[in-house]
Amino acid sequence: MTWGESHGSSVGVVIDGCPSRIPLTREDIQHELDRRRPGQSEIVTPRLEEDQVEILSGLLGDRTLGTPIALMVRNKDHRSSAYDEMEHTYRPSHADYSYDAKYGIRAWAGGGRASARETIGRVAAGAVAKAVMRQLCPDMEIVAWVNRVHTIQADVDPASVTSEAVESNMVPTADPQAAELMVEAIKAAKAEGNSLGGVISCVVRGCPAGMGDPVFDKLDATLAHAMMSIPAVKGFEIGSGFHAADMTGAEHNDAFYMEDGRVRTRTNNSGGIQGGISNGEAIVMNLAFKPTATLMTTQETVTDNGCAAILKGKGRHDPCVLPRAVPIVEAMAWLTLCDHFLRQRCQQGTPD
Amino acid sequence: MTWGESHGSSVGVVIDGCPSRIPLTREDIQHELDRRRPGQSEIVTPRLEEDQVEILSGLLGDRTLGTPIALMVRNKDHRSSAYDEMEHTYRPSHADYSYDAKYGIRAWAGGGRASARETIGRVAAGAVAKAVMRQLCPDMEIVAWVNRVHTIQADVDPASVTSEAVESNMVPTADPQAAELMVEAIKAAKAEGNSLGGVISCVVRGCPAGMGDPVFDKLDATLAHAMMSIPAVKGFEIGSGFHAADMTGAEHNDAFYMEDGRVRTRTNNSGGIQGGISNGEAIVMNLAFKPTATLMTTQETVTDNGCAAILKGKGRHDPCVLPRAVPIVEAMAWLTLCDHFLRQRCQQGTPD
Amino acid sequence: MTWGESHGSSVGVVIDGCPSRIPLTREDIQHELDRRRPGQSEIVTPRLEEDQVEILSGLLGDRTLGTPIALMVRNKDHRSSAYDEMEHTYRPSHADYSYDAKYGIRAWAGGGRASARETIGRVAAGAVAKAVMRQLCPDMEIVAWVNRVHTIQADVDPASVTSEAVESNMVPTADPQAAELMVEAIKAAKAEGNSLGGVISCVVRGCPAGMGDPVFDKLDATLAHAMMSIPAVKGFEIGSGFHAADMTGAEHNDAFYMEDGRVRTRTNNSGGIQGGISNGEAIVMNLAFKPTATLMTTQETVTDNGCAAILKGKGRHDPCVLPRAVPIVEAMAWLTLCDHFLRQRCQQGTPD
Amino acid sequence: MTWGESHGSSVGVVIDGCPSRIPLTREDIQHELDRRRPGQSEIVTPRLEEDQVEILSGLLGDRTLGTPIALMVRNKDHRSSAYDEMEHTYRPSHADYSYDAKYGIRAWAGGGRASARETIGRVAAGAVAKAVMRQLCPDMEIVAWVNRVHTIQADVDPASVTSEAVESNMVPTADPQAAELMVEAIKAAKAEGNSLGGVISCVVRGCPAGMGDPVFDKLDATLAHAMMSIPAVKGFEIGSGFHAADMTGAEHNDAFYMEDGRVRTRTNNSGGIQGGISNGEAIVMNLAFKPTATLMTTQETVTDNGCAAILKGKGRHDPCVLPRAVPIVEAMAWLTLCDHFLRQRCQQGTPD
């Protein structure tokens, strides 16, 4: 459970049900938070003082206690005046209007709960889930990367992509040529005050067969839930995804064969999941991100008392969320897989 | 909660938390079940005796009691011998192997819990959710249709499509020309023992603004969860979906304006949901379905004791699941919306 | 999750999350149901045809599949006319009025959902939980017995009481002298059209240390929840219970010592639970039952349109619920312990 | 959800699902926390600087946002050396051993998660629930009081007792004579290094009829769950409680009558709850508290490596927890009632 508004005093997360005696340090968590921090690549000043996580409970030394782990990151003291216009004017394709419709009140400064700062809690919790899985299922690895920015497509092989390769580029992807083009495109959009969408892909390798529930909490359904809950995600694919619509069964079916005593499939259109349950192959997902809604141009909108208005862009502006979203996607994948691993252990005991 | 294996004695569902005094008849539920029944269009014998729902609890006369509603449909006495080969041989792209990996046992006859008969419970529960919403939110309407079969794309307008138009074609879609081509394509695939994938679209109109939770249980995330839990679904899109990846913010943002005292948007790339919360516009989704895994051709596979095997197709064969999946998609949409409506009423009271 | 009204077509239960490959037969469940059936001891006709359980799903042969287990017991065709008066007249200390206040509708015939028939589902589910624990934790045993009827107190030692001893008496308790007096007292109350309350005690032996959550879902708190949800229960004690109020710390504290390499306590005022977590000692509970509300005498009451009325007793009348409640108490204990055992396995892996 | 160990950096709570626009101030919460703070009455130094609550999220000015409310209280920097002995020696009737059995690790300094400091989160959350109910159900009032300390019984009428009367005594009860005797008894126990148990009673007045679920989440069952989760509680009674065991139905049944157009009962043995659902009468509960386990005398025990040991009492010592537990009991009652109120609104809409 995460909590916190963008311009409240802090944001945080509480993780319940974590197994005890798992090795976990503050640095494990801070490392993941550093990956999602804004402005790392384009701004020289490292601003390393920002987004420092504080562990409030649940650890004794560097091991988990089994009790709830509470993590908190203080917000800086933002000048809310920069956001004064937002108090009464709805920003297009933001959640200002829908929050008002739901709650009749909203923390308008900085976007409140709908701000990207909410994802700090996800990344921190994901770091805990990763530490748990490192201990319980050491062969599992999860890598996400930017697979597309606008029309620029990266060429990355899910079977072999590594975090090191992804993080070696300014845009986190494992195709250096595409990464350069992506940087150019993002800079161009920024110059125009415009923004770009794209696709992030994510692979889970080393997942044991048998994870996932057979009906409502299918592994792919819960991954979709987790990923679609990330701000700006508009689409989710597992395995063949929308391409499956164009295929025949003869093309799509993944033939089984034996390899080293293990059941394998010749192709992986299933994306590692059959009937909602992992089959031991790589789990491959794609997520569509919409372009950032904050623009530096003028836009037509209305106010909260129903008057037409013109919104002028000002302040900071992140023209493409995808580079920062990669660790968020990985965090949600670790959380979902860890949850299914513990559920499987609950019902069926420790997998052999 | 649904229960039941394909070849057990029955399948069913229990719905808890349903408001009391909602008008609901057995016919309301049976009508939806009749829409998902196999073999309606192509086989002359109507087989109306099949899949008769029995109401076990929760109603007094034709009104709900507020207590759990249990619904059951008896399975017919299938000759399991037709499935004998399946006892030890894993069918490619079915859940046979992954179930064995999870449970170490499986109801192999007819696919057990992974059978399409499991969806009977979803459709029956969806009929109850629909009855609740008819009472609590009478303006809401939900229509799903086949938007694509293999490469044949229908031309349907989400703003105006009606259930009547959809159901007037043999393939449930509102584009009669496309429907005819789809029928031809499905017949051709059947003749080859092959199968076809496709896309189902679904629109929710008249949803009040304010439905959905802002962080993990976003309306779109829970819709994705619900839809991806339907067997054979490989992808989910809301609003602009994967097309959002190619767009700039200037193209994608939905400008607000006032119409009849109501906040509206000029475009609907958001798909009716902003920040996870409905904004009052139409909610538009697309779902990718893979081609049916059961083929009438021979396929490479393995047995449950690790030997290579050849699976020969025999028995019945449904070359395209999409026509029967339309009511299942609608049912999952009704269930998800009803759930959010009741949650909103819980936290915020009855919407004005 | 249980479902069913007293005079609907059937009552039932669905159990989700049951481990697979647990040996379980219809007879295991029927045996427990036979123990709660009314009228066994005092009526010669055994009525063995009643309350036959039907397994609707979740088993293959005599082993669990891991998927939901649905169990159903058909209701007999009761003559509802015997209950006509109840349609509009509230029976004192029944749930007639409070149901109407909640739902604005109630299944008045036979008490509907508030009928004792609802406990059939509990007993059936408890039989499944017992089968799971027999497999996963074979040393655990649970015995409940009638410890008091009105002012007649049984003398039973929780450390050594056996089910065989309890079931050998007409009133299920392990003190034959008290049992005879209880039978006399119940017969006398019946002759007067009156009814009697009492106390049921329950012991869990062989529970491994470490079960229970430390804060809200303490083992004793969830046992209290489970036991207080049984109809007619008005009080719950663990260990020293209300007697603890009269004690000093020096009297109450349970000194630790070692026995055969295991941590033991010299006394057991804690009732086997410390800080909400089992410590390996016997878990001992007491439950207060109120006297049956159905009387054969006339009582002052009101109708559902607010008029004063006199309710005359007629029909069948069970002057003391305790004999039949013993298997229900055991069932709730098995369900609660099984739940905690699986949760512990989820978080901490299989206990050593 | 609460979090925090006694000697970690802080303790806290996150409350999700709180309605928006509820008036709530930091002072509302601090006021309740001040009531549970140790050492108020017997120690002159007020130590008012302690246990200051910090609101981390969920409020805008003095109104709730509808998003999660996170509250935190910093722990002071305790000298853990005072607890060194506790690292390896199990304190009798504390949770030291059972935590070790569960987690294989424990925050031994100050009792960790099992410390009374965990209840800070309950009281803070209860203050939020109280603020919600003040707005949604202004007629509801909840008063708890010390009804017994050891053998000293207070004489208090649940129908008329007020918080003012309770708080006017050093031991919070509405019987001044008994309060004086209780103070004497507690002082005497302290002088001996001993401790005392007792009973706290709690009444809910003005609860609308219809709250509570009919089967597992009966209002009384969830109240029992909530109350039994408070540290040191060993027994729970609703209405007639264990006294019901001694009664006949003719004595116990609560006759209905009409008063001012409202259904009332002549007696209230049901304790305001029938069939798990409130009937509009006062809800009356009793809770048995065991004497504090921390003594200033020597006690037999064992160490965590299985050696016999003698524990000598030292440090601070609270000879009777009841005075401080009164606001905790009220908090758990507010939380449970608020939860049922919102659930009822979810299923049935706003009560008339």
DSSP annotation string for B31-61: HHHHHH-TTTTT-SS--TTSS-EEEEESEET
Q: What pLDDT does residue D49 have?
A: 46
Q: What pLDDT does residue B1 have?
A: 63
Q: Is B275 an interface residue toward A (CB < 8 Å)? A: yes
Average pLDDT value for residue range A7-17 = 79
pTM of this prediction? 0.92
pLDDT score recorded for residue B44: 32
Asked if C198 and C322 count as a contact pair (C-beta separation under 8 A), the reply is yes
Residues of D in contact with C228 (CB under 8 A): 218, 220-221, 223-225, 236, 238
Contact of C56 with chain B, judged by CB distance below 8 Å, is answered with yes
Residue D222 has pLDDT above 90, yes or no: yes
Record: contact B350-D348, CB cut-off 8 A: no
pLDDT at B81 over 80: no
D10-36: average pLDDT: 89
D269 in contact with C, Cβ within 8 Å: yes
Using a CB-CB cut-off of 8 Å, the residues of chain C touching B2 are: 68
pLDDT of residue A83: 62
A343–C342 C-beta distance less than 8 A: no
- What are the chain B neighbours of D17 within 8 Å (beta carbons)? 346-347
| A50, pLDDT greater than 90 | no
Q: Mind listing the pLDDT tens digit for each residue in C50-63?
A: 789 989 888 888 99
Q: Which residues of D touch A12 (CB under 8 A)?
A: 56-57, 70
pLDDT tens for each residue of B1-58: 656 665 567 788 888 888 999 999 999 999 999 987 755 555 333 344 478 998 988 8
* Chains in contact with C via at least 3 Cβ–Cβ pairs below 8 Å: A, B, D
Mutate to test the interface with A, among B152, B274, B299 (most CBs of A within 10 A): B274
pLDDT at A156: 97
State whether residue B216 sits within 8 Å of chain D by CB.
no
Is the Cβ pair D103, A65 closer than 8 Å?
yes
Asked which of B162-176, B271-285, B293-307, D258-272 is least confident by mean pLDDT, the reply is B293-307
Count CA atoms within 13 Å of residue B303 on its CB side. 9
Summarize pLDDT for D242-288 with one digit per residue, the tens: 999 999 999 999 999 999 999 999 999 999 999 999 999 999 999 99
Q: What is the mean pLDDT of residues D155-162?
A: 96
Between A44 and B60, residue with greater pLDDT: B60
**Residues of chain D contacting residue A26, judged by C-beta atoms under 8 Å apart:** none
What digits encode the pLDDT tens for the residues A121-178? 999 999 999 999 999 999 999 999 999 999 999 999 999 999 999 999 999 999 999 9
The pLDDT tens digits for C166-187 are 999 999 999 999 999 999 999 9
Residue D342 sits at the chain B interface (C-beta within 8 Å): yes
Show residues of chain C in contact with D271, CB under 8 Å. Answer: 234
Q: Is the per-residue pLDDT at B111 higher than 70? A: no
* D151 touching B (Cβ < 8 Å): no
Mean pLDDT of B305-327: 86
Q: CB distance A347–C18 less than 8 Å?
A: yes
Nearest 5 degrees, angle CA D282-CA D238-CA C178?
145
Share of chain C above pLDDT 90, in %: 61
Contact A98 B196 (CB under 8 A): no
Task: Using a CB–CB cutoff of 8 Å, tell me whether C105 touches chain D.
Answer: no
D touches which chains (3+ CB pairs under 8 A)? Answer: A, B, C
Contact C19 A348 (CB under 8 A): yes
Tell whether the model's pLDDT for residue A192 goes beyond 70: yes
Contact A56 D9 (CB under 8 A): yes
- Which of A244, A288, A302 has the CB atom closest to B263's CB atom? A302
Nearest chain D residue to C214 by CA: give it. Answer: D114
Is A71 touching D (CB cutoff 8 A)? no
Residues for chain D: how many in total? 352
Q: What percent of chain B has pLDDT over 70?
A: 88
Q: B43: distance to nearest CA of chain A, Å?
A: 23
C351 close contact with A: CB closer than 8 A? no
Nearest-by-Cβ selection for C113 from D196, D215, D250: D215
Residue B120 in contact with partner chain C when CB distance is under 8 A: no
Chain B nearest-CA residue for C6: B57
Residues of D with Cβ-Cβ distance to C3 under 8 angstroms: none
**A67/C214 CB distance under 8 A:** yes
> What local confidence, expressed as pLDDT, does residue B46 receive?
39
Judging contacts by C-beta atoms under 8 Å, the chain C residues touching residue B75 are: none
| pLDDT > 90 fraction of chain B, expressed in percent and rounded | 61
Contacts of C345 in chain A (CB under 8 A): 345-346, 349
For residue D294, what pLDDT band results from cuts at 50, 70 and 90? confident
Residue D6 reports pLDDT greater than 80: no
DSSP secondary structure letter of residue B282: P
Q: How close D66 comes to chain B (CA, Å)?
A: 8
pLDDT in tens, A65-74: 988 898 988 8
Residues 6+ apart with CB under 8 A from A44: none
Q: Tell me the pLDDT of chain D averaged across its residues.
A: 88
Q: Distance, in angstroms, between A200 CA and closest chain B CA?
A: 10
> Residue B173 corresponds to which tokens in the numbers above?
């879609």
Q: Which two tokens stand for residue A311?
A: 């919104």
Q: Does A42 touch chain D (CB under 8 A)?
A: no
Q: Which residues of C touch A343 (CB under 8 A)?
A: 346
| D271:C189 CB<8 A | no
Interface test with B, best of A93, A151, A219 (most B CBs within 10 A): A93
Q: What is the pLDDT of residues A216-275, one digit of tens each?
A: 899 999 999 999 999 999 999 999 999 999 999 999 999 999 999 999 999 999 999 999
Given a cut of 90, is residue A187 above it in pLDDT?
yes
pLDDT-based confidence at residue D113 (cuts at 50, 70, 90): low
Q: What's the average model confidence in pLDDT over D162-170? A: 94
Average pLDDT, chain B: 88
Q: Which of B214, B270, B295 sits opposite A253 (nearest CB)?
A: B295
Residue C47: the pLDDT is 41
pLDDT tens profile B153-185: 999 999 999 999 999 999 999 999 999 999 999
Q: Token pair of C177, please?
A: 């002298």
Q: Using a CB–CB cutoff of 8 Å, tell me whether A307 touches chain B.
A: yes
From D208's Cα to the closest Cα of chain B, the distance in A is 16
- D9 confidence band (pLDDT: 50, 70, 90): confident
> In the beta sheet, which residues pair with residue A12?
A3, A72
Distance (Å) from the C-alpha of residue A351 to the closest C-alpha of chain B?
9
**Secondary structure of chain A in HEC code, one letter for each residue:** CEECCCCCCEEEEEECCCCCCCECCHHHHHHHHHHHCCCCCCCCCCCCCCCCEEEEECEECCEECCCCEEEEEECCCCCHHHHHHHHCECCCCCCHHHHHHHHCCCCCHHHHHHCHHHHHHHHHHHHHHHHHHHHHCCCCEEEEEEEEECCEECCCCCCCCCHHHHHCCCCCCCCHHHHHHHHHHHHHHHHCCCCECEEEEEEEECCCCCCCCCCCCCHHHHHHHHHHCCCCEEEEEECCHHHHHHCEHHHHCCCEEEECCEEEECCCCCCCEECCEECCCCEEEEEEECCCCCCCCEEEEEECCCCEEEEECCCCCCCCCHHHHHHHHHHHHHHHHHHHHHHHHHHHCCCC
Most confident listed range (B240-244, C98-102, D95-99): B240-244
Determine contact: A16 vs chain D, CB below 8 A.
Answer: yes
**d(Cα D173, Cα D184) in Å, to the nearest integer?**
14
Structure tokens at C155: 């003398």
pLDDT at A281 (0 to 100): 97
C45 has pLDDT over 50: no
What is the ipTM score, two decimals?
Answer: 0.92
Give B248's contacts in chain A (Cβ within 8 Å). Answer: 150, 189, 194-197, 291
